[in-house]
Copies of this chain bind each other. A is one copy, B any other.
Amino acid sequence: MKPKSIKSKKPTPAPKSARARTEESASDAAASDVAAELRMRSQLLWDAQVRPTRGPKPTMDRDSVVQAAIALADADGLAALTMHAVASALGFTTMALYRYFPNKEALIDACVDAALGTPPAPPASCTGWRERVTHWANAKRTMLCARPWLAELPFVAAPHGPNWLSWHEALLQCFSGLGLTPEDMMDMLSVVTGYVQGSSDTAISLARSRARGIPDEVWAAAVGADLGRAIGDPRFPMLSAVLTSASGGLAAGGALPARAGRPRTMEEGHEWGLERVLDGLEQHLTSD
């Protein structure tokens, strides 16, 4: 096997379906295949690009490709991120991209990490750890909503790049100076990231809808229509009661946008929940 640039290793592109029904050796081979592919994808995220001295100079670089790809996804969602579209946005042929990324997944990995960016430093006014964590959570949520296509990703086991780690680093730094053990910090980090991630789903869905140019009312109507079907259905007594109650607004899993008579917006709901989570963590800290 020659060190052939970064080309993909798998010679046959789609033996996916023929997998798994054979012997154990085949399963082992598949596992090591997967491991090798993940290793390659991770390496692409972390290794700086080294220009070989021979041959013609490249006319683009990974970063410009990534920027073009992100612009497409920002504008029209992940489906618009096509190898052809990216290449022609840069004025190149589709296949030219494969000099920079061995396949689409690797390109998307890079897009994801670039899109995550680095978290903003907490403002100096944030004195307590709770304020710092809240600032971090809001920043993360804002970032996720600004790039709703991140939640659209079909490739779920994406490798973690430097920017992904930087968000976790920033959150850990919120906990510094509290005398916590590393284990405690990790536990707290898991809880906060879990809550923020899961609790942003609805907001992201709305953000994506907005990015596609759909008015908020259309989105709300679609979500509300499904919930509305519960009303009166004997299978959903509590849901019916809650949905028909005067307040109406705040919906399952996140929220509908604020409605008349209910001052709470989706963002306020998120912050309120975060306060509860932080209460729980604080209680644990002080009980030690």
Residues on A close to B: CB < 8 A? 16-17, 19-20, 27, 30-32, 34-35, 38-39, 42, 45-46, 75-76, 78-80, 85, 151-154, 156-157, 159-162, 165-166, 168-169, 172-173, 176, 181-183, 185-187, 189-191, 193-201, 204-205, 208-209, 212-215, 218, 221-223, 225-227, 229-230, 235-239, 241-242, 245, 247, 250-255, 262, 269, 272-273, 275-281, 283-284
Chain B residues with CB under 8 A of A252: 160, 165, 168, 186, 189-190, 193
Q: Which of B182, B189, B195 contacts A195 (CB 8 A)?
A: B195
A182 touches B226 (CB 8 A): no
Closest to A214 in B: B31
Q: How many copies of this chain sit in the oligomeric assembly?
A: 2
Expressed in whole angstroms, the Cα–Cα distance for A106 and B43 within the complex equals: 38
| Minimum CB–CB distance for A96 against chain B, Å | 20
| Minimum CB–CB distance for A79 against chain B, Å | 7
Closest to A172 in B: B238
A245 touches B213 (CB 8 A): no
Expressed in whole angstroms, the Cα–Cα distance for A161 and B198 within the complex equals: 19
A75 touches B156 (CB 8 A): no
The 9 closest A-B pairs by CB, nearest first: A198-B198, A194-B199, A280-B280, A197-B198, A182-B245, A276-B280, A279-B280, A172-B238, A191-B273
Chain B residues with CB under 8 A of A38: 222
Expressed in whole angstroms, the Cα–Cα distance for A176 and B237 within the complex equals: 11
Taking A157-B208, A247-B182 as contacts, is the C-beta distance between A27 and B213 under 8 angstroms? yes
A191 touches B236 (CB 8 A): no
| Minimum CB–CB distance for A40 against chain B, Å | 11
B195 touches A277 (CB 8 A): yes
